[in-house]
A and B are shown apart, each in its own frame.
Chain A
Amino acid sequence: MRKLKTHIAQPFEDSLERSQKFLNDHIEKLITFEESKELTWQNPVEGPLITNRQTNLQKSLSIFDLVDTPNKTLNKLISVFGILAEELKVLTDRVLNYSIFQALFSIFFCYGNCLFQIICFGPRNTSNTA
């Protein structure tokens, strides 16, 4: 019986020690991770984006006014992507998201049908063509 007790007790103690070690290591890792994170946030290259708010709403804001970070190259990159995305959005809206009488896809969808004249020249002007 003594042998059995020792046999059962040893793995329990071992597992307890392992779990304690694991917990201590994990706590140390968390502390080091938090410290490293603080350091990176202090770094100007990886710092958080500073939002720019303008009180004068009458003046129209450009993208260059809105993007203002300590990193100049990051400013350029954000503004370039913003301008390109805006340009693409305007063009895609002309193709897809305008009203039925103005979108390009509706014109090509109804080409050759009786609806084509209404879409291209409006419902009022169709009586003149007929």
Chain B
Amino acid sequence: MVPEIPEILTGRMLPIYQELFEIVEKLSTILINVVNQIHCLTDKTSKINSERVFSRNLLKKCGFIQPFEVLGNTLLAILTLDTLIRENVNILKD
């Protein structure tokens, strides 16, 4: 197998870079959305709590297990991608 020229390699990688950018952008926006929604639910000064749409006991019983689990998984994905790109010498060379 002949090693490719770095210019050609980067050219072949362009669609993958584009996909990575779109995925990371989507992930970050949805992450911010989830964090904002959890904040609005738990914050005492928010509109939902001031109008008392939910009782406090209901929110105490809710564990928010699924959103926090998903948040952890997405942060893990972003961290792995970040470390792989940062520590790969070949990408930094090209």
A-B contact count (CB 8 A): 103
Main secondary structure of the interface of A (DSSP, over half): helix
Is residue B49 contacting chain A, with contact meaning CB distance below 8 A? no
- A94-B23, A104-B19 are known contacts. Are A130 and B73 too (CB-CB below 8 A)? no
- A residues 103-130 near B (Cβ < 8 Å) are 104-105, 107-109, 111-114, 117, 120, 126, 129-130
Question: Using an 8 Å CB-CB cutoff, how does the interface string of A80-107 with B read, 1 for contact, 0 for none?
Answer: 1110110111011011100000001101
- A46-B55, A112-B91 are known contacts. Are A129 and B23 too (CB-CB below 8 A)? no
The size of the chain A interface, using a CB distance under 8 A, is 35
- A104-B16, A104-B20, A107-B16 are known contacts. Are A45 and B73 too (CB-CB below 8 A)? no
Task: Give Cα distance in the complex from A74 to B41, angstroms.
Answer: 11
Q: Nearest Cβ in chain A — how far from B12, in angstroms?
A: 7
Q: Taking each of A46, A81, A87, which has the highest tally of chain B beta carbons within 10 Å of its own beta carbon? A: A81
